Structure 1
Amino acid sequence: MRRTARPLTGTALAVAAVGLLAAPVFAAEAGSLEVYPSSVVPGGQVTVNTPACGGGTAQGDASAVGAGMFTLAPSTHEQDAIGQFKVPESAQPGTYEIVATCSEGGKRVTGDLTVTLTSQRQQVHPRGSVKTGVGGALGPDPVQTAAGVAALAVAAAGGTWLLHRRARGDGI
């Protein structure tokens, strides 16, 4: 049984060694430029980041959309280089290539930015009431709301009058 265990252990070690050697090759290929948001309206702010520069600086080029050059600086977020630029108000709708070139090694990475005339992120306002089963303080009917407020006012006035009589000793 020992003879079987040794070849299996040796095979497992060989597979692990091949996996460790292949990991850096895969990590080196992960060089892209992330553009956030990927869709923006003219005048919007765009953030780009890339792990391709190994935590170093990079020179960004957004001249395709009319924003010109910008700098990507090192960040503590997974050793990415991060930069920002503003899309000009005069930008036309379409898809534009944003480029970054690493300062060390000259590696070039690209990402796409889509300019639209309408924002994809429209603010949604809540409507209606929450169905909790308890009931709401203010209903949709103003007559019922007014009647409820009047009933509370009468109860408060009556309670105050009874407490006042009791304090004077008149009894109830």
Structure 2
Amino acid sequence: MRSLRITLCAGAVVAAALAPAAYAADAGVWVTPASPAPGSDIQLRATGCAGQTGTAKSAAFVADAQLTGKDGALVGDSRVPTSLKPGTYDIKVSCDGYDDKVKGTVTVAAGGGPSPSAPASPVAPVHAGGGGTAHLALVDARETGPGTRQAVIGLVLASVAAVAVAVRSARRSRHGEARD
């Protein structure tokens, strides 16, 4: 029985030691479409980062792509400059506090991509209403929701309820024994 326990512990140690290497082997950057034309919008998917945010940089992007966590990967969007020459360009993803932690490439195809039908940024205010709620978008998610104060109040209320149930049960059992 002891040898089985030692074997299982040794197997767990080996699996734990190899897990980061296996995880790193799956690291990479994927671009959709695979061979974008100049002026095309692209979607990025990067694996190999444990965090929920990252930044993808490449000479093939108009601007650095901000990546956010989704389905175990970091995803984001960018655009290929219309003046970019066809070729293969490096993509470097910074995440988990490390620069260039994940690397990949994008191959830009020849030919003009779709030209934008509208300006990239608004030229006038959008008439969508909801102006009074705009400040809510600026609220930090860490500042919302229950905090320590609410947790303590909840624990106190739960404790009071538990004591009330215990007292009531004790009274019922005492009164039930006296009737027999």
Q: TM-score range by the shorter chain?
A: 0.5 to 0.7
1:147 aligned partner: none
Rounded to whole Å, the distance in 2 between the matches of 1:41 and 1:116 is: 5
> Aligned-pair distance for 1:24?
3.3
> Aligned-pair distance for 1:10?
6.0
Q: Which has more radius of gyration?
A: 1
1:96 maps to which of 89, 98, 102: 89
2:104 maps to which of 76, 98, 111: 111
The answer on whether the counterparts of 1:72 and 1:83 sit within 8 Å (CA) in structure 2 is yes
The answer to whether 1:31 aligns with 2:23 is: no
The answer on whether the counterparts of 1:38 and 1:112 sit within 8 Å (CA) in structure 2 is no
Rounded to whole Å, the distance in 2 between the matches of 1:111 and 1:34 is: 7
The answer to whether 1:22 aligns with 2:18 is: yes
Rounded to whole Å, the distance in 1 between the matches of 2:107 and 2:75 is: 19
Inter-CA distance 96–15: structure 2 relative to 1 (3 Å threshold): same
Inter-CA distance 12–37: structure 2 relative to 1 (3 Å threshold): farther
Mapping for residues 72-83 of structure 1, pairs under 5 Å = 72-75=67-70, 77-78=71-72, 80-83=73-76
> Aligned-pair distance for 1:17?
4.5
The answer on whether the counterparts of 2:61 and 2:78 sit within 8 Å (CA) in structure 1 is no
Inter-CA distance 58–66: structure 2 relative to 1 (3 Å threshold): closer
Moved over 6 A (4+): none
Give the alignment's Cα RMSD to 1 decimal: 2.7
Mapping for residues 149-160 of structure 1, pairs under 5 Å = none
TM-score by length of 2: 0.51
Q: Extract unaligned runs of 5+ from structure 2.
A: 113-180
Inter-CA distance 66–10: structure 2 relative to 1 (3 Å threshold): closer
The answer to whether 1:69 aligns with 2:64 is: yes
Stretch moving more, 15-24 or 40-49: 15-24
